[in-house]
Amino acid sequence: MTSDHASDRPRPTSEHPTNEHSTSEHVTGEQATGEQVTSGRVTQPWTITLGALDEKLGIQIVEQSAQRVVATMPVAGNTQSLGRLHGGATAAFAEALGSWCALIHASTLGKVCAGVDLNITHHRGATDGILTGTATPVHLGRTITSHEIVVTDAQDRRICTARITNQLIEQR
């Protein structure tokens, strides 16, 4: 989903959530908050914590849920020798977004995830500015998820489209 104007875009938050996966007290019935009820306990969704590569890429989280993860990444510092956006940086950005979205979903099932396939099509280059990436589910299953990731520039032009498939696995 893209907006008609760059000013309509969500802006990054300055908060960095923790990566705590916890459960709360026993509950009965359906939760109004959308929390997953597992064996009579509410499983809290995982929240994104940036890894070392994410920090080096300059990624900032804007929005996070099992239905949508939005983040930004600057072109500056993520260029190749000719001063253009590096395709590997864009791929790493897209992979992070799709994996985070999958992991939020997996956490509500008491699972984690591992990427099994990533593909990316680069539509146009960029030499400056801030990119916005949005991951949305194509399929959210109990054992496999697939997500589409769209990366756009400040003028809402599509820079790339990616798809990632993650396998959901039991925590160890």
Instruction: Please indicate, yes or no, if residue 4 is contained in any of the structural domains.
Output: no
Active-site annotation holds for 148: no
Q: What is the pTM of this model?
A: 0.77
Low-confidence residues of the chain: pLDDT under 50: 1-38, 40-42
CATH number at residue 89: 3.10.129.10
In the chain, the number of structural domains is: 1
Note down the domain range covering 94.
Answer: 51-170
Cα separation, 160 vs 169, in Å, equals: 29
Asked, for residue 13, whether it belongs to a domain, the answer is no
Distance of alpha carbon 85 from alpha carbon 95, whole angstroms: 16
pLDDT digits (tens, 9 = 90+) for 29-67: 333 334 444 454 447 899 999 999 999 999 999 999 999
Out of 25, 95, 148, 170, the active site residue is 95
**Residue 136 forms part of a structural domain:** yes
State how far the Cα of 63 lies from the Cα of 106, in Å rounded to an integer.
Answer: 17
